Amino acid sequence: MTSPIDAGATPAIAALLQQLHEGRQPDAAAQEILRITAGLEAQLRQRDADVAAAIKELESFSYSVSHDLRAPLSTIDGFSRLLEGSSAKGDAERSKHYLQRLRLGVANINELIAALLVVSRLLRATMAPQAVDIGALAQGAFAALQATEPARLAQVDVQPDLVAQGDPALLKQLVDHLVGNAWKFSAKKDKTFITVGSQPGAEGETVYFVSDQGAGFDMAHAEKLFGIFQRMHVSSDFPGLGAGLATVQRIVARHGGRIWAEAAVEEGATVYFTLPGA
């Protein structure tokens, strides 16, 4: 996120204008005024971009509240009506079934709200940038996942010296989500392969990536990949709310970076991201 607009720019420009008026070093004063105004213009452009991003975020949240929460609410309403009918008939077994479905609907809403709150807090969290070992985070995430499924054949390859500049807590969330996704979408393969590494970018930047050989997805739908509650697979195949990559996208944005993905159906996926600064 950008810093506040420089409050000291106005008096500085006023002093330089006075210097020009008095004829003291006019060229240097003019150049300094141009430098300050160019900096202010850049800050204003960034502020406009931040406002546009915030508006887009609000639109996304509004859609999630009006659309994604409506489905479980409709389920609760439907089963409450059925429960009312079964109770009137004294059908205890059917009433018990309807109560279970109602509890599932409430649990679903709680999960959705919790995911929305996590994403929302990412936009307000205070950042403390420092050197972070992405490789060590990836190894830790992989070890935790392997412990939950010790019989699963899996291998993770992590390139050495994967050090990035960023907030440690946020980058841990980022790596946990990406490695977790690679693990989840590789579940139907005979063996899980995950690669975490980096490569040079187009303008000398470092591009980090997490790659797998799992289910992949159709690139025709890639535009919705980082949207909140947007899913590329049916929940019966791969459970989840579709909030993980939305969280990752916002963490990358907080660090001033970019994120994108490449994939093919049943051939795996690779998520790329940059972390130029915080």
Enter the tokens of residue 52: 């546009």
Q: pLDDT value at position 102?
A: 85
Q: pLDDT value at position 44?
A: 82
pLDDT at 239 over 60: no
Q: Are 181 and 244 in contact (CB under 8 A)?
A: yes
Q: Per-residue pLDDT tens for 250-260?
A: 888 888 899 99
Averaged over 183-194, what is the pLDDT? 90
Q: pLDDT value at position 92?
A: 85
Percent of the chain with pLDDT over 90: 25
Q: Per-residue pLDDT tens for 109-136?
A: 777 777 667 666 666 667 888 999 999 9
Q: Which residue type does 34 have?
A: L
Burial (CB count <10 Å: 0-12, 13-18, 19+), residue 181: buried
Q: pLDDT value at position 227?
A: 65
**Annotated domain spans of the chain:** 9-62, 69-122, 130-274
pTM, full prediction: 0.63
pLDDT at 171 over 80: yes
Residue 20 to residues 4, 9, 12, 15, 31: CA-CA distances in angstroms?
A: 28, 16, 12, 9, 11
CATH of domain 130-274: 3.30.565.10
